[in-house]
Chain A
Amino acid sequence: MHAKEPVVRSNVVRAAILVATAALAANAVAQQESTTGTLAAISGFVEPGASVLFEPHMEFPNEQGTIAVTFEGPAFNTKGHPFFTPGPNGRACISCHQPIDAMSISVKTLRERWDVTQGSDPLFDMSDGGNCPNLPRAERSSHSLLLDRGLFRVGLAWPPKDAAGKPIEPEFTIEVATDPTGCNTDATYGLKSAQPTVSVYRRARMAANVRYLESAQAPQNTKTGLPLVRDPVTGIHSSMSIMSDARVPSLAQQAQDASATHMAIPITRAEANVLVEFQRKVHAAQQSSNVGGRFDAPNTPPALGVKALIEGRGNPPINGNDTDTGVFLLMDEWKGPATPGDKAAEFKASVTRGYDIFFFRPLWLRDTFGINNIGLGNPYKQTCAFCHNTQITGHDDVPGWMDLGTNNFPHAAAAPELPTFKITCKAEAAPHPYLGREIYTHDPGRALISGKCADVGSLVMQQFRGLGSRAPYFANGSAKSIREVVDFYDRRFNVGYTDEEKADLVNFLLAL
Chain B
Amino acid sequence: MKSSSMIVGVCGVMVAALGVPQTVPPIAAQTTAQTAIVPAQLPPGRVSEGLRGVYVTGDPLRLTSENMNVGKRISFVACPYMRDSDPTPLWYADYDGETYFLRAQQNLSAAVRHPQLKHKVLVEGVISPESRVGNGVVLNPLRLSVLPEVDVNCDRLLPADGSRIMNPKRPPGPGVDGGEREAGAERNRQNAARLWAFEYQPDPVERAVKVFEIPFDFDGGIGAYQAYGQVVAAVKYARDVDASKVEIIGHRASVLLSNGEPLVERAGVEKDRAQTVTTIFNDYPFDPGTVVTRWESEPRAADGGADWDKRTATVIVTPASR
Contacts and interface: CB of A to CB of B under 8 A. Distances in A.
Contact of A382 (B116, B119, B172, B225): B172
Given A366-B117, A381-B105, 11 more contacts: A225-B224, A226-B276, A230-B283, A316-B185, A325-B178, A378-B116, A378-B118, A381-B84, A430-B148, A432-B150, A435-B150
B149 interface: yes
Given A381-B25, A434-B150, A224 B174 contact: no
Nearest to B102: A377
A316 B189 contact: yes
A283 interface: no
B280 interface: yes
Given A322-B175, A323-B176, A375-B108, A225 B91 contact: no
A178 interface: no
A377 B196 CA distance: 32
25 contacts: A218-B192, A219-B283, A223-B224, A224-B222, A226-B280, A235-B196, A316-B185, A319-B178, A319-B181, A319-B182, A323-B176, A326-B174, A360-B23, A360-B173, A372-B116, A375-B113, A377-B105, A379-B117, A381-B84, A428-B268, A430-B221, A432-B150, A433-B119, A496-B25, A496-B26
Given A372-B116, A375-B113, A375-B225, A322 B26 contact: no
Contacts of A222: 108, 224-225
B39 interface: no
Contacts of A226: 222, 228, 276, 279-280
A362 interface: yes
Nearest to A398: B108
A495 interface: yes
Contacts of B172: 362, 381-383, 386
Contact of B174 (A360, A373, A495): A360
Contact of B179 (A223, A324, A359, A494): A324
Interface in B65-91: 82, 84, 87-89, 91
Interface string B16-30: 000000011111100
Interface centre among A374, A378, A380, A381, by most chain B C-beta atoms within 10 angstroms, is A381
Interface string A298-338: 00000000000000000010111111111000000000000
Which A-B residue pairs are the 3 nearest by beta carbons?
A377-B114, A322-B178, A219-B192
A325 B175 CA distance: 9
B263 interface: no
Contacts of A435: 150
A393 B221 CA distance: 32
B192 A320 contact: no
Contacts of B186: 316
A462 to B, nearest CB: 21
B223 interface: yes
Contact of B107 (A324, A362, A376): A376
B115 interface: yes
B317 to A, nearest CB: 18
B279 A227 contact: yes
A432 B223 CA distance: 17
A381 B174 contact: no
B177 interface: yes
Interface string B213-240: 0000000011111011000100000000
A436 interface: yes
B118 A225 contact: no
A219 B174 contact: no
B116 A322 contact: no
B157 interface: yes
A79 interface: no
Contacts of B232: 219
B188 interface: yes
Interface of B: 23-28, 82, 84, 87-89, 91, 105, 107-108, 110, 113-119, 146, 148-150, 157, 172-179, 181-182, 185-186, 188-189, 192, 196, 221-225, 227-228, 232, 268, 276, 279-280, 283
Nearest to A367: B118
A64 interface: no
A219 B108 contact: no
Contacts of A434: 118, 150
Contacts of B108: 222, 374-376
Given A225-B227, A363-B25, A321 B175 contact: yes
Contacts of B178: 318-325
B268 A362 contact: no
Contacts of A374: 108, 224
A385 interface: yes
Interface in A347-370: 359-364, 366-367
Contacts of B225: 222, 225, 375
Interface centre among B84, B116, B150, B189, by most chain A C-beta atoms within 10 angstroms, is B116
A219 B223 contact: no
Interface string A380-406: 111101100000000000000000000
A219 B189 contact: yes
Contacts of A375: 108, 110, 113-114, 223-225
A220 interface: yes
B118 A433 contact: yes
A225 B227 CA distance: 8
A33 B135 CA distance: 75
A217 interface: yes
Given A225-B222, A225-B224, A322-B181, A380 B105 contact: yes
Contacts of B176: 322-324
A386 B108 CA distance: 12
A149 interface: no
Given A322-B176, A322-B181, A433-B116, A224 B23 contact: no
Nearest to A372: B116
A224 B225 CA distance: 9
Nearest to B178: A322
Contacts of A436: 149-150
A150 interface: no
Contacts of A326: 174
B173 A377 contact: no
Contacts of B276: 225-226
A113 interface: no
A214 to B, nearest CB: 13
A361 B23 contact: yes
A237 interface: yes
Nearest to A381: B172
Nearest to A496: B26
A383 B188 contact: no
Contacts of A321: 174-175, 178
Nearest to A434: B118
Nearest to B220: A430
Contacts of B268: 428
A221 B280 CA distance: 11
Interface in A426-461: 428, 430-436
A216 B28 CA distance: 36
A230 to B, nearest CB: 7
B309 to A, nearest CB: 19
